[in-house]
Amino acid sequence: MVQSREHFIPAFGQWLREIWPDATVAWELTHHGLYGWITAQNFPEPEALNQQLGDYWISLRSRSGSWPPPPVTLFAAGPDEAFPRWQVRHPPLALQRLHRPLDPGGDTEIPSEMRLANHFIICGLGSLGQYCYDCLQQFATPAFPVQLTAIEVSQPGAWEVQGIADTLGANLMIGDCRQASVLEQAGIGDCRAILLVTSDEATNVAAAIAARRLNPNVHLVVRSARQNLNHLLQEKLGRFVALNPTELPAPSFALAGLGEGTLGLFTINDQQLRVVEQRITATDSRFAGINAHQWSRRQQRLFSIFEPVNNPQTPSRYACFFPASESRIFHQWRPDHILGLGDRLVWAELVSGGVGVQGARSTTGARRKFLRQLLNPWSWEQKLKASWAWLRGEERRWLIVRGLGLGSVLWGISTLLLRFNVPHMTWQKAFFSGFILLLGGFGDVFGGLEPEDIPFWVMAFCLLVTLMALLFILGVLGLVTEQLLQSRFSFLKRRPPLPQAGHVILVGFGRLGQQVADILLTIRQPLVIISDSGENIPPLTIPYLSGDVIQTMEAANLATAKSIILTNEDQMLNLEAALIARDQAQGDLGLVIRTFDQLLSENLGDLLPGARSLCAYALAAEAFAAAALGENVLGLFRLQDRTILVTDYQVTMGDTLLGLGLAEVAYGYGVVPIFYEKQGKTIGDERKQKFFPTDDMILGTGDRLVVLASIQGLQRIEQGKLIPPRLWRLWADAPLSSEVALDAGNILTNISGCHLNQARDFIQSLPGTIELKLYDHQAYRLGQQLSHLLTIRLYPV
């Protein structure tokens, strides 16, 4: 009979060796239970072993008297593997606790000293105002209450957001938001932010000035498209953010029309970045068989993998990680996931020159680089070749160069002839006289000289030089006149012909259509614009058709077009045009439809499979809601039917980001850090900034962090609701040298976030174990790096 813990482990080990002869077991008994790490070449089926383990544990319990046997967990791995290939537990309750999903939505009580007054005022309940109200409502939780007050000049006649009329109730005030009495009645004195989103920009600005006078600390979020005025108001008023609801969603419309590929474009510190989506096909050899973490590099960061729905998940090598989560938008894959056929990858990458990954060079470094290029003969040779190619690129330039060369030769010959054949002619006078001859001044040169003193052949040559110079001058004047006439009558130019295939048809050239067209032209996408209004005419360089939209679409080569983007103000016209376009198209025509009703957008999927229906104000409202919380929104894009905001944070005292490592920010809050800048300008010759920073960095006061986040991610950051990490147990063997011990201690400190002294004490006491709180991706990275230096075992407790 097994009556104590001392007798339990030998008895259990003997039973295991009987059913698994070639297994080597290392046991550890903790307050969590008994853990066995099995090293073997051959592995039985986990289900069969779990059944045998259950039977033995039950029989052991019946023979143990009053002492209950502890929960047993067996991990199995091959030689030199850091993570278990599979695991079994008994009793089953322990297994349920191990695989219980983490709850990212649980309410976390926030300390009272960190709570802020979450009172928001929304002025204007048009389309944008209603969506802003709905977005801010989503931030409210029992632990984080949100108070909303809406101001409108009259009772709204139509509600575009379902259910908003029921939730408004007494929170709706009728009045003019520019009046101080109305703002005071709405509670401007204790308001955290006021959103001024009426359709009249003058009303928004006037109300912003009145709100600032009543509350010097309120955060102003204003709907305005006047960039110069917005910049001036930001300087004068302070805590002022102006957003253009037409400009914000334009990239989503433009890039949706391109199909799979680029999802988003934005700029950070003059460096352009893009978000790329790609599905792995049989021809993508660069993805075949590599671990997902290997796709994140210095100039790109993988943040989403969507596995095909029809195929089962790729078998995992290790059993200690949570399965892929469909509810999360970022970091949802298993850390040991191997990229396979059909996986859809989404990553961010740098796409142009600028700051770069390692930071911008200082002024001194730039000057040194310029001097090196200036003194480099290879650089001069390249510049000469480029100049020669530019001159030969156009016949007119080449004629002018040859004329200038011939004139220089004649100038030199004339100077020599005058110097040596005209009495009392100095070099200086001969030089300038030759130049005067090139300008047609034959009489000016020879009018003051005695003809009998000058040889006849010299005068004849100088006359010939003058005539040739006059002909050259007249030719140059003719070219200049031709250029002036061409520019003067440029309005007579015809538009370029319509593209025959692979183009995008943009229907509607209002404010949103103009923004979409600018983006498509920037990326050099062939484009045809259709408009039924003559108010906004696109430039002559763009193919353009005017008239009835339905009748004009076919003339725009709709059958061979890549996609059609419908941005008209009339959503019924957009729907009608989309239905007709789908019928007339020969191939797979991409459809991007602008709507104003969120319910219509959600229901169009069944009517038009594959179509992208976007509500411009619904997209912009999430950016306005984020701005109301004090965040700086740099851009947005759509991913998996969710709006992703590019948000710029400045870490301050009392911030929910202060003191966290980027691993906690990424996996705990569910966002993607893509840019980090340390407080202070430079370290020597380098700026303290980095694109796609590693998880090791710790955020301090004054640091800047740019993240990709959904509205739910911003909500978690605002409320300080970190998804808790799991507890992992690390066993490591003794290091082979002091250098290995030093490197292992640094790796443990950087990745796990534990104190350096604690890490070094653990390394010096090896072999031994330590418990660490880690997220799955964090644990995988730690195991991968430490296994190159030490023999380790890492498993969840």
Q: How far is CA 174 from CA 128, 151, 374, 438, 630, in A?
A: 18, 6, 69, 82, 27
- Is pTM beyond 0.75 here? no
Strand boundaries in 508-631, DSSP class E: 527-531, 544-546, 563-566, 590-595, 612-615
pLDDT in tens, 425-450: 788 888 878 777 777 777 667 765 55
Q: What is the pLDDT of residues 242-285, one digit of tens each?
A: 988 888 888 888 888 877 678 888 888 888 888 988 888 887 77
The Cα–Cα gap between 307 and 341 comes to 9
The answer to whether residues 714 and 774 belong to one domain is: no
Contact 330, 671 (CB under 8 A): yes
Q: Looking at the structure, tell me whether residues 701 and 767 fall in a common domain.
A: no
Residue 181 and residue 202 in contact, taking contact as beta carbons nearer than 8 Å: no
Token pair of 367, please? 């000057």
131, part of any domain: yes
Q: Write the single-letter amino acid at 424.
A: H
Exposed e or buried b per residue across 465-498, where buried means at least 16 C-beta atoms within 10 angstroms of its C-beta: bbebbeebeeeeeeeeeeeeeeeeeeeeeeeeee
Per-residue model confidence as pLDDT tens digits over 356-381: 323 333 334 444 544 555 455 555 66
CATH number for position 781: 3.30.1390.10
Enclosing domain of residue 658: 620-719
Residue 206 lies in a domain: yes
- Going 181 to 185 to 187 to 193, the CA torsion angle's sign is negative
Which domain-ending residue is among 694, 719, 744? 719
Q: Residue 509 and residue 530: Cα distance in Å, rounded?
A: 7
Q: Do 276 and 302 belong to one domain?
A: yes
CB within 8 Å of 196: residues ≥ 6 apart: 123, 124, 177, 203, 204, 205, 207, 208, 211, 220, 221, 222, 223
Q: Which residues, listed in sequence order, are joined to residue 39 by a DSSP beta bridge?
A: 24, 77
Please, what is the Cα angle at 54 between 49 and 60, to 5 degrees?
125
Range of lowest pLDDT (145-149, 536-540, 579-583, 673-677)? 536-540
Residue 722 DSSP SS3: coil
CATH code (residue 192): 3.40.50.720
Peptide bond into 91 cis (omega under 30): yes
Question: How many Cβ atoms are within 10 Å of 571's Cβ, its own excluded?
Answer: 18
* 299 contact partners, CB below 8 Å, separation of at least 6: 349, 350, 357, 691, 692
Question: What is residue 383's predicted lDDT score, i.e. its pLDDT?
Answer: 66
Q: Are 377 and 294 in contact (CB under 8 A)?
A: no
One domain, residues 88 and 149: no
Helix axis angle for 127-137 and 616-628, nearest 10°, is 50
Q: Note the pLDDT of residue 316.
A: 65
**Which residues pair with residue 74 across a beta bridge?**
36, 88
Residue-wise pLDDT for 273-322, tens only, equals: 889 888 888 877 777 778 888 888 788 899 888 877 665 555 567 778 87
Please report which helix (H) or strand (E) contains residue 92, including its range. Answer: helix 92-98
Domain boundary residue, one of 288, 323, 350: 350
What's the number of domains the chain is made of?
Answer: 7
Please check whether residues 90 and 164 belong to one and the same domain. no
The answer as to whether 783 is a domain residue is yes
In this predicted structure, what is the pLDDT of residue 182?
Answer: 92
Q: Residue written as tokens 């917005």?
A: 230
Same domain, 384 and 406: no
pLDDT over 70 at 190, yes or no? yes
Looking at the structure, do residues 9 and 87 belong to the same domain, yes or no? yes
Q: Does residue 491 have a pLDDT over 70?
A: no
Single out the residue in 466, 487, 508 at which a domain terminates: 487
**In which band, very low, low, confident or very high, does the pLDDT at 210 lie, cut at 50, 70 and 90?**
very high
Specify the pLDDT at position 664: 92
- If you ran DSSP here, which 8-state letter would residue 449 be given? S
Rounded CA-CA distance 512/570 in Å is 13
**pLDDT digits over 631-680, tens only?**
888 888 888 878 898 999 999 888 889 989 999 999 999 999 999 998 87
CATH of the domain at 340: 3.30.70
As given in the structure block, the two tokens for residue 128 are 């944008």
User: Looking at the domain assignment, is residue 89 inside a domain?
Assistant: yes
Quote the pLDDT of residue 479: 72
Residues 124 and 231 in one domain: yes
Q: Are residues 713 and 625 in the same domain?
A: yes
* pLDDT higher than 90, residue 708: yes
Q: H-helix or E-strand containing 434? A: helix 427-438
Could you tell me the pLDDT band of residue 704, with boundaries at 50, 70 and 90?
very high
Strand order in the sheet with 642-650: 632-639, 642-650, 704-709, 672-683, 686-691
Q: 220 and 123, same structural domain?
A: yes
Domain membership flag for residue 296: yes
Question: Once rounded to an integer, what is the mean pLDDT over residues 414-425?
Answer: 78
Q: Is position 675 within any domain?
A: yes
- How many whole angstroms separate alpha carbon 534 and alpha carbon 466? 56
Question: Does 252 fall in a domain?
Answer: no
Q: Is residue 380 part of a domain?
A: yes
Verify that 407 and 384 share a domain, yes or no: no
- CATH (domain of 702): 3.30.70.1450
Residue 670, both tokens: 């569910």
| 239 & 118 share domain | yes
